[in-house]
Amino acid sequence: MRFLPEEVWTCMKRHMMLLFTIFLCSFLPACASGRPHSRDTYAMDTVMRLTAYGDKGEEALDGGIDTIARMEALLSTTREDSEIYRINASGFGDVSETTADILSRTLHYADFLGGDFRPDLYEMTALWGFTGEQYRVPSEEEIEEVRNHVSGGSVSLEERKVTLSGVKLDLGAAAKGYTAQTVIDSWRKLGIHSGIISLGGNVQTLGLKPDGTLWRVGIVDPEDTNRTLCVLSVGEAAIVTSGGYQRFFEKDGVRYGHIMDPVTGTPASSDVSSVTVVSSDGLFADCCSTALYVKGFDAAVSFWREKGGFEMVLVDHEGRVYVTDGLSGSVSGCPFEVLAP
Ligand code: AMP
Ligand code: MG
């Protein structure tokens, strides 16, 4: 027996269903449309984790994993079938649209960032054994020879034609940032509203968390990589960390990190132990964090003051944390000093 007209009853049922769904969603970690889908993979010498929320999550993960594999196949310096390997071996040749795109944008950022960032210093990283993981301390003569190649060399790119003069390419400081940005862009096109990927030191987010709150991204303690030094609360952004602690070897009590100073031809002896750049662009954040690590504290702060357009967190060798003013409300879990513009 019903006391209400059919249409009112139907409308009430609809409202009750909606209320019930909202009620459920507020108690479950994520409601059906915001269910997390996660996958881990190992590529580009690092462990990666991708998480996409929503009904198309699995499709997003499949696409993301494919993109990572495709980028590694194009950009690896050690895989003999990669485009970069082929160009390094012959000194010239045509590349795919994707490789031309990352190369042209990386060369542009190299200009912008000054001589601290060189995507063509393969011979330096190889000399110290970072490419094949056969670490060694080279002689002064070897360092000098490679240093001359790099300082006098150049890369030219015309449409898809690459010509190397006296140098070889190493896109290790840019590949993960470019890949992360490509994955996030493809997820956005697919209709994903919420996602996060972590490719080693490169974290990039899409939208906000499904519950509308900010993402919490930990900054690793360079002195103890099992610890999180502090946490950044961010919306949609690329958060990229560079530091010598991420890959290094030790010889006779000296630590040699994988980020090179192109001017000296030796691993950068930076006075910061890590630089985290927060930017809207994954590739820029990746190139910039590497360059600022080489620049060191004072030059990194001057660069930020002069150019702006990004935020950063610097950690020095005493574990002190410095944060640009745009992030001052976003850091938690550690004491920090704010860098004024
Ligand atoms: P990242 O982890 O992004 O800071 O990049 C470090 C990687 O980039 C190294 O493992 C090298 O392959 C390469 N690299 C090292 N030093 C430089 C540099 N000064 N400029 C550009 N790439 C570099
Ligand atoms: Mg980088």
Q: Cβ of 88: how many Cβ atoms within 10 Å?
A: 21
Residue type, 334: C
What pLDDT score does 10 carry? 41
Verify whether ligand 1 is closer than 6 Å to residue 118 (CB atom). yes
Whether 117 lines ligand 1, by a CB cut-off of 6 Å, is yes
Question: Which residue, among 59, 83, 58, 60, has the nearest Cα to 70 in the 3D structure?
Answer: 83
Residue pair 127/142 in contact (Cβ under 8 Å)? The answer is yes
Supply φ then ψ for residue 198, to 5 degrees.
Answer: -130, 110
Instruction: Report whether 322 contacts 308 (CB < 8 A).
Output: no
- pLDDT on residue 3: 37
* Amino acid identity for residue 122 in this structure: Y
Alpha-carbon span 248 to 200, nearest angstrom: 15
Question: What percent of the chain clears pLDDT 90, i.e. is strictly above it?
Answer: 89
What three-state secondary structure class fits 74?
A: helix
* CA–CA separation, 287 and 291 (whole Å): 6
In the chain, the amino acid numbered 87 is I
DSSP, res 245: G
The amino acid that residue 210 corresponds to is P
265 Cβ closer than 6 Å to some ligand 1 atom? no
Q: Which of 122, 259, 289 to mutate to test the pocket of ligand 1 (most atoms within 8 A of CB)?
A: 259
Tell whether the torsion through CA atoms of 282, 288, 293 and 298 is positive or negative.
negative
CA-to-CA separations, 48 to 67, 69, 188, in angstroms, rounded: 13, 12, 19
Please write the tens of the pLDDT for every residue from 50-75: 999 999 999 999 999 999 999 999 99
Question: What pLDDT does residue 34 have?
Answer: 80
Furthest CA-CA distance within the chain:
97
pLDDT(211) > 60? yes
Residue nearest to atom 12 of ligand 1 (CA): 172
Ion ligand 2 — residues with CB < 5 Å: 173, 286, 290
Mean pLDDT of the chain: 91
Residue 159 Rama label (left phi>0; alpha psi -120 to 50; beta) = left
Q: What is the per-residue pLDDT for 26? A: 36
**pLDDT for res 33:** 52
Instruction: Find out whether 293 and 267 touch, Cβ atoms under 8 Å.
Output: no
Residues 340, 325 contacting (CB under 8 angstroms): yes
Residue nearest to atom 10 of ligand 1 (CA): 258
Mean pLDDT of 147-157: 95
Q: pLDDT above 70 covers what percent of the chain?
A: 90
φ, ψ of residue 40 to 5 degrees: the values are: -110, 150
Please answer whether residues 196 and 215 qualify as being in contact, where contact means their C-beta atoms are separated by less than 8 angstroms: yes
Q: Which atom of ligand 1 is nearest to the CA of 261?
A: 19
Predicted TM-score (pTM) of the model is 0.90
**42 CA to centre of own chain:** 15
Per-residue pLDDT reduced to its tens digit, 121-145: 999 999 999 998 899 999 999 999 9
User: Which residues touch 56 (CB under 8 Å, ≥6 apart)?
Assistant: 190, 191, 192
Residues linked to residue 238 through DSSP beta bridges, in sequence order:
204, 279
155 lines ligand 1 (CB under 6 A): no
Summarised one tens digit per residue, pLDDT across range 8-56 is 344 334 443 433 333 333 334 444 358 999 999 999 999 999 999 999 9
For ligand 1, whether the C-beta of 180 sits within 6 Å is no
φ, ψ (nearest 5 deg) of residue 339: -90, 120
In short, whether 170's Cβ falls inside 6 Å of ligand 1 is yes
d(CA 230, CA 332): 6
Q: Please choose, from the candidates 255, 218, 214, the residue with its C-alpha nearest in 3D space to the C-alpha of residue 236.
A: 214
Per-residue confidence (pLDDT) for residue 16, from 0 to 100: 39
pLDDT value at 338 more than 80: yes
C-alpha–C-alpha distance, residues 237 and 225, integer Å: 23
Output 15 or 237, whichever has higher pLDDT. 237
Per-residue pLDDT of 273-289, as tens digits, reads 999 999 999 999 999 99
Rounded to the nearest 10°, the torsion over CA 230, 234, 239, 243 is -10
